[in-house]
A and B are shown apart, each in its own frame.
Chain A
Amino acid sequence: DAKTTQPPSMDCAEGRAANLPCNHSTISGNEYVYWYRQIHSQGPQYIIHGLKNNETNEMASLIITEDRKSSTLILPHATLRDTAVYYCIVRGGVNTGFQKLVFGTGTRLLVSP
């Protein structure tokens, strides 16, 4: 898997947008960007993934730059329950064989009142 770089920690005020950046400068053309989060002592939770286009679901939006070397996960209205470690992962797409998940150190997001 391509390496990703994330800031170790970020703070966000409750109700504001949380923008979590991720660099993946060595990403290949068929590799997807995935985001998971892990709340303390719980299993990782899938958030969103994308290849080239921006994606949105009920949890978040994913903005991928045109050169695909970086992306941003946006939580539009952060709540206290969004406090977690957020992992950005790059993994291969169709026909790239088995892809185990490799979590880096992630970004610890703290949402405060």
Chain B
Amino acid sequence: DVKVTQSSRYLVKRTGEKVFLECVQDMDHENMFWYRQDPGLGLRLIYFSYDVKMKEKGDIPEGYSVSREKKERFSLILESASTNQTSMYLCASSLKGWQETQYFGPGTRLLVL
């Protein structure tokens, strides 16, 4: 079974704080993704990575950065959290090849006060 884990299920942070969300997959997948999900807006891609140290911007990268130092780990960083970054954050991974099935982690529900 593919296993994608995320560091926290729920997180509460204050405006201006630096926030780290971590994702780990155990299936040796090349591709990893960060999405956010908001009511009425569906799933939106923030960043993705197709290899170690490689990253590509998705549709809404502003206010976020990512890090992929090891193949199994993909971190999302909110440099200075803002209230409009309150959301459900979802990490996914897939094998190499853009058509491959993406498998999701359980999600992190972030509240920025």
Contact = CB atoms under 8 A, between A and B. Distances in A.
Interface of A: 32, 34, 36, 41-46, 49, 91-94, 96-105
Given A45-B104, A98-B98, 18 more contacts: A34-B101, A41-B88, A41-B109, A43-B4, A43-B107, A44-B90, A46-B101, A46-B102, A94-B97, A94-B99, A96-B98, A96-B99, A98-B56, A99-B99, A100-B59, A101-B35, A101-B45, A103-B43
> Is chain A's binding surface mostly helix, strand, loop or mixed?
loop
B103 A46 contact: yes
Interface residues of B, number: 26
Contacts, number: 55
Interface in B55-113: 56, 58-59, 88, 90-92, 97-99, 101-107, 109
